[in-house]
Amino acid sequence: MVSSNTNIPSHIAIVMDGNGRWAQIRHMPRGVGHAKGASIVRGLVEHCAQLGIKYLTLFAFSTENWNRPQDEVLTIMQLFIKYLEKELPNLTERGVRLKVIGDISSFDKELQERITNAVRSTSENTKIVLTLATNYGGRWDVVNAFLKWSEDNPSSNLATLSQEQLQKYLSTSDIPDPDLLIRTGGEQRISNFLLWQIAYTELYFTQVLWPEFDNNQIDLAIAWYKSRDRRFGNVRL
């Protein structure tokens, strides 16, 4: 369920868009933009934790991103490995629990092992949950949930399946739905991200490219969120 606290979001989800364009504007390779974008994550996580936000979900790599040029995909994979290697001690020190959602079976063995190790190593941390959505798609998530439900309930009639039952099989079943979704980079679409989970999420779009999305920008997004009247289908009183 979405948090009912309208003062500050409990869960923020972000589509981190604009890395490549940030680099191209500066006549640099797109990979430089991805590296710059990855470098701001630590500060953003720490700032959100200080504000009392309990869950932060970042769209790191979508199921559609495999269609990008091979060298760019390789760069992103290498950055993911470097991030896990470099940031694991900091995640533990800062009380960050790492969660990864998506089909990681498509990644090479080294990356899968690093993901598994990082998730296990931070599993007892309680300050903030950082979820990285990688090789993730909202449609994949719903279909995967249905398949898992079918495996667990082979003799059940499909007509008996409820929303509440299916939600338990989503990759985010152990965390609340986002209160606020932010997309950087100027585009105003969801791009197959958390399709089920954002049914009542407030959507915030900004022209700021991801490498320039600093703490001040997250504060502006939260200020906008606080101005929203969240009725969840009810009428205005």
User: Domain containing 64 — which CATH number?
Assistant: 3.40.1180.10
Question: Is 216 one of the catalytic residues?
Answer: no
- Catalytic residue among 19, 65, 153, 157, which? 65
Residue 197 resides in a domain = yes
- Catalytic residue among 5, 7, 17, 234, which? 17
The pLDDT of residue 184 = 98
Mapped onto helix, strand or coil, the DSSP state of residue 84 is helix
Residues facing 57 on adjacent strands? 13, 131
Residue 132 resides in a domain = yes
Q: Are 128 and 50 in contact (CB under 8 A)?
A: no
Question: Is 5 one of the catalytic residues?
Answer: no
The pLDDT of residue 132 = 95
68/51 Cα distance (integer angstroms): 35
Residue 6 resides in a domain = no
Share of the chain above pLDDT 90, in %: 80
Residue 123 resides in a domain = yes
Nearest to 94 by CA among 58, 133, 60, 49: 49
> Would you give per-residue pLDDT tens digits along the chain (237 residues)?
344 445 899 999 999 999 999 999 999 999 999 999 999 999 999 999 999 999 999 999 998 889 988 888 888 898 888 888 889 999 999 999 999 999 999 899 999 999 999 999 999 999 999 999 999 999 999 999 999 999 999 989 889 999 999 999 999 999 999 999 999 999 999 999 999 999 999 999 999 999 999 999 999 999 999 999 876 656 555
Tokens 């490219």 belong to which residue?
Answer: 209
Nearest to 30 by CA among 75, 61, 60, 64: 75
What range defines the domain where residue 68 resides?
11-226
Residue 207 resides in a domain = yes
Q: Are 165 and 209 in contact (CB under 8 A)?
A: no
